[in-house]
Amino acid sequence: MTLLQALAETVPKAADALLAFATGNSETRQTVVDLASGSAKLAEQFPEAAMQDGLGRSEEFFTFEDSNALQEVLDRGTLQQWQLFLHPDQRSLVERTFSGPARLRGISGSGKTVVALHRAKRLAKAALENGEKVLFTTFDKGLAAAAGRLLDELCGPERSAIEVTHLHRLCLDYIFQRGLGNPKYSPEQNRRFRNDAFWNISAEHKGALKAIPHEYLSSEIDFLMGRFLHEEAESYLTCDRSGRGRGLSLEQRRAVLDVYLSYHQSLANAGLVDPADFVRIAYSLKLKEEGTESSYAAVIVDEVQDISEIALRLLHSLVGNREDGLLLVGDATQRIFTRGYSLRGLGIDISGRGLVLRKNYRNTKQILEAAFPLVEQEWNDDIAQAEAGIADLKPEFSVREGTRPIVVRCPDELAESRFLAAEVAALLRYKHYTPRDICILARNRHYRALAVTSLRAAGIPVHLFRDPDAGEVSPDRNAVRVSSLHGAKGHEFGTVFVAGAVDGVIPLGSDLDSQNASSEAAVLYVGMTRARDLLYLSHASTDRDGKPLSRSSFIDRISKSCDFAEFDR
């Protein structure tokens, strides 16, 4: 970096060439060598032949027969407007009519959400004329807010017919409109009641659960609450748990049920509910109103892989099996909150209406090649269920070439934070990035705080995404974003850093069963695939107190597609 800084002041083309050699792919490196040896010359203008060749690369160039369509694209000025670009190959999915519920699967970066947004616009035009609405919902508040902003850009008058909300807000509004008031929820007390419930069960049941990690037991309670209403809880003892990653004996199930009942009773005594009860209460109310006509012409569910079974029952009940009524959009490889159900088991029949988007447009070929092995089995299993008649299950990687992801080892955590600041500063200077093009992802608050402190000390604008004191951050804020891996879902950046890639953090915890290992791999996959062009994963050999740290075991699974470097300043 010191050499590049000196060269940039005197011979900027040489600095650009060296940077291209250090960060480019094999073709780029060979071009730099040819320039240095004199066997090639640097063109001052983009060659016509290269332009014609590029037209064949649909991920980067498009041709338009309709001049109005071209002008519409040229008029786009903001990132939000460009995020709404619909690939010509996807337009048929927007216009298609479905005779009943439909399921749209797709690899990360395939444009699933863009298709869903354009489809919401199309359906809203008819809904507006009929005095109905289109519901666009997802599990996360931030994702719903982002979808709302994009629909504001995309739509005209039909925007008034689209209701955008996250699942819990939808349920709370449904409950409130029926005069029950908002259920009370306390994160601190809920956490305490749940922990106490594990200790309140009988010694016999404690023994039955002794060999099962606490994290898995907690997720099993979530599974139970996501599948059954409280009065149905006994059905957990005999239900199909396919997809949960660990078999449980009848005695272990009885013990889990005992934990749930103790937890539920403690909440009831305190006048509180679990967040899962927002959906359960709303669905119970909807069952009592069976036959009542819905005001929704269509329901579009984004990130459906993270929606619980009862939530899907509720959303399906809003439109039933009407034409173009229910569209479920998602990617099983990004399933962070693992469930364990099938649509067929819920009475949602998508036969002949299961669609798959296999082409990735967001990431370079190198980034997706590195990330995909983390979730390959989940992708294959999910696509096999799609009944879409696809012979080749493997996704189509972008033809857009780039740099292989770089794994950077640092001597300690403080050195890792200095690396983040130094590399971000270099990217801002040499890659012509603006701060908003860069994101640093970390699994826990400790690494996020290190990143924020280091960048601020270097004078780099930075913000902590969803800082409780700052509220929702505007997408137009020109600063490097520091976020959790979960918080990055639904976003994309030119460059992404995944910091703190050490065992115990990524993956979180130790002695993981296959269920949690799969979920943890999906979390890292989501983080890695937020990067369009450059991806770094960094880890330290020791913490601040000199305690040894081990590189994340997930890096071993992606190592053949990565480059490795050391930072020792």
In this structure, the number of other CB atoms found within 10 A of the CB of residue 565 comes to 13
* Percent of the chain's residues with pLDDT above 70: 85
Residue with the bigger pLDDT between 32 and 74: it is: 32
Closest CA to 153 of 72, 92, 93: 72
Q: Are 363 and 101 in contact (CB under 8 A)?
A: no
Amino acid at 244: R
At 533, which helix (H) or strand (E)? Answer: strand 531-542
For 308-324, what is the mean pLDDT? 92
Which pLDDT score is estimated for 361?
A: 82
DSSP state of 502: B
> For residues 342 and 3, what is the distance between their CA atoms, to the nearest angstrom?
57
pTM higher than 0.85 for the full model?
no
Distance CA 128, CA 157 (A): 9
pLDDT at 511: 57
CB neighbour class for 88 (10 Å; exposed up to 12, middle 13-18, buried from 19): exposed
In what order do the strands lie in the sheet containing 326-330?
162-166, 133-138, 296-301, 326-330, 102-106, 354-357
> pLDDT higher for 434 or 518?
434
Distance, CA of 438 to CA of 474 (rounded, Å): 15
Name the superfamily (CATH) of residues 406-566: P-loop containing nucleotide triphosphate hydrolases (3.40.50.300)
Q: What CATH class does 67-176+279-357 carry?
A: alpha beta
Burial class (CB in 10 A: 0-12, 13-18, 19+), 530: buried
Mean pLDDT of the chain: 85
Picking from 32-41, 450-459, 494-503, which range would have the lowest pLDDT averaged per residue? 32-41
Within a 10 A sphere around the Cβ of 533, how many other Cβ atoms?
21
- The whole-number pLDDT of residue 468 equals 41
| Structure confidence at residue 62 as a pLDDT band (50, 70, 90) | low
Which range of 27-31, 33-37, 196-200, 296-300 scores highest in mean pLDDT? It is 296-300
- pLDDT 10s digits, 148-186: 988 998 899 999 999 999 999 999 999 998 888 888 989
Residues 6+ apart with CB under 8 A from 401: 25, 27, 364, 365, 366
Count of alpha carbons within 13 angstroms of residue 264, beta-carbon side: 17
Mean pLDDT value of segment 483-500: 89
Residue 293 or 203, more confident: 203
